[in-house]
Amino acid sequence: MAGLIFHVDVNSAFLSWEAARRVANGEEDIRRIPAAIGGDRDKRTGVVLAKSIPAKKVGVKTGEPIGMALRKCPDLYLAKPDFRLYEQCSRAFMDICREYAPVVEKYSIDECFLDMSGTHRLYPDPVAIAHTIKDRIREELGFTVNVGIGDCKLLAKMASDFEKPDKVHTLYRREIPKKMWPLPVRDLFTVGASTTEKLEKAGIRTIGDLANRELSAVQRIVGVKLGQQIFQFANGIDPSPVLSAPEEAKGYSISTTLEEDVTTEQQAHGVLLALSDSVTARMRSDGVKAYCVAVTIRSNDFKNRSHQRKLAQPTDISREVYQTSRQLFGELWDGHTPLRLLGIALTDLTREEPSQLSLFPDEERERARRLDKAYDAINSRFGGAAIMHGSSVHSKLEVGKKYRAQMEQKNKTE
């Protein structure tokens, strides 16, 4: 019996999650106005991590510098990223998915695969149960998803990319000639910009053109390994299983799939800074530190690469994780291949303080740790997005000064 796979993909995840929180608090729905997640309006620093449809219509692009986005749209509303919120929303929608599927694979923070094979007696109509899942997420959590249905992971993911938002689409093998083959070859999963250019120069402009070429011809154009993969995908062949794994059993990790490719070092550093802030805050909350930092990147042809580094001392300091992540990223990235996903993982955990390596404390590390704690206290008191770390020690010192002043004033009045 053929498999039955669902792919659930949150529509404009970061912006939708922030909008859902605001709507629940009686505030304006930023999905309806030119809005974006990321960066600092006053300093005009950072990058766009997500955007609303009205912002897209005026040319704002994911991954571009905030200054450029504001030149295109001076009235652009900017909300700071809040990865704690994103993780909560991610867990919430995947928990709903787990109520219906025996196996759920978290593919990234905002998308997952459901293996629905063998559930035909429980759910005789796959489209109907997909609508049930989609509608429950919208009604209970306040944001929308697309659900793609297919015989394999590839076809399910392709289907979820059809018309958006808040839709259910099927792409079974029997539907490939009608629904998939007429699409531009660039729309095929794993076909990036450079591969598209090579294929189009060879006269392969649609997915159908690719599917109906000889495999050997495709391999001569793009290489043996990639050629075989995209030829199989064009014909709807993908044997990869839906995998279920315990979440963060031995470490702390966070990743994000961006709506548009990261193409500059500045963009990547902005994302890594936000990820570092989030994952270290969780570690500090749990009272653990890590000896090992790893960075993962996924190129727009969906190839993953990762690199890790052991530290001399365990850390839960945001700045140290960010600096190490930047170094690892620099060793991983070739400087030009567009990237779709960035992630950080912290492993080799400890709850014990290391033996003192010096008679004198590292004053700079202690200062950074105190400022991290001030950051955590402010966010705990005023909400997860109250502040985000700046990219300099100076900005973090200012945060610490403001927090200490607040606490001193509070103590005087009590």
Residue 45, pLDDT score: 60
Cα angle 248, 380, 45; round to 5 = 85
pLDDT greater than 90 at residue 126 = yes
pLDDT (mean) for 126-153:
96
Q: Which domains does the chain have, with CATH numbers?
A: 1-172 (3.30.70.270), 181-246 (1.10.150.20), 251-410 (3.30.1490.100)
Residue 404, pLDDT score: 40
Looking at 116-130, 131-145, 355-369, 382-396, which range is the least confident one?
382-396
pLDDT in tens, 90-120: 999 999 999 999 899 988 889 999 999 988 8
Catalytic annotation present for 408: no
Residue 273, pLDDT score: 86
User: In 10 A of CB 243, how many CB atoms?
Assistant: 13
CA atoms within 13 A on the CB side of 152: 16
How far is Cα 53 from Cα 166, in angstroms, rounded to an integer?
A: 14
Could you tell me which residues come within 8 angstroms of residue 344 by beta carbon, excluding any fewer than 6 positions away? 253, 254, 255, 272, 275, 276, 279, 293, 294, 295, 296, 321, 325
- Measure CA of the first residue to CA of the last residue in the chain; give whole Å: 70
Which tokens sit at 38? 């990321």
Mean pLDDT of the chain, nearest integer: 83
Token pair 């740790």 is at which residue? 369
Residue 245, pLDDT score: 62
Residue 228, pLDDT score: 94
Residue 263, pLDDT score: 86
Cα angle 203, 206, 211; round to 5 = 90
- The verdict on pTM exceeding 0.75 is no
Which of 315, 186, 333 shows the shortest CA–CA distance to 271?
A: 333
How far is Cα 110 from Cα 184, in angstroms, rounded to an integer?
A: 25
Residue 64, pLDDT score: 81
pLDDT greater than 50 at residue 38 = yes
How many percent of the chain have pLDDT more than 90? 46
pLDDT band at residue 302 using 50, 70 and 90 as cut-offs = low
Residue 352, pLDDT score: 62
pLDDT greater than 90 at residue 321 = yes
| 3-state SS, one letter per residue, for the chain | CCCCEEEEEECCHHHHHHHHHHHHCCCCCHHHCCEEECCECCCCECECCEECHHHHHCCCCCCCEHHHHHHHCCCCEEECCCHHHHHHHHHHHHHHHHCCCCEEEEEECCEEEEECCCCCCCCCCHHHHHHHHHHHHHHHHCCCEEEEEECCHHHHHHHHCCCCCCCEEEECHHHHHHHHCCCEHHHCCCCCHHHHHHHHHCCCCEHHHHHCCCHHHHHHHHCHHHHHHHHHHHCCCCCCCCCCCCCCCCEEEEEEEEEEEECCHHHHHHHHHHHHHHHHHHHHHHCCEEEEEEEEEEECCCCEEEEEEEEEEEECCHHHHHHHHHHHHHHHCCCCCCEEEEEEEEEEEECCCCCCCCCCCCHHHHHHHHHHHHHHHHHHHHCCCCCCCCCCHHHHHHHHHHHHHHHHHHHHHC
How many percent of the chain have pLDDT more than 70? 82
Catalytic entry in 111, 259, 260, 320:
111
Cα angle 261, 262, 264; round to 5 = 145
Residue 361, pLDDT score: 52
Residue 43, pLDDT score: 60
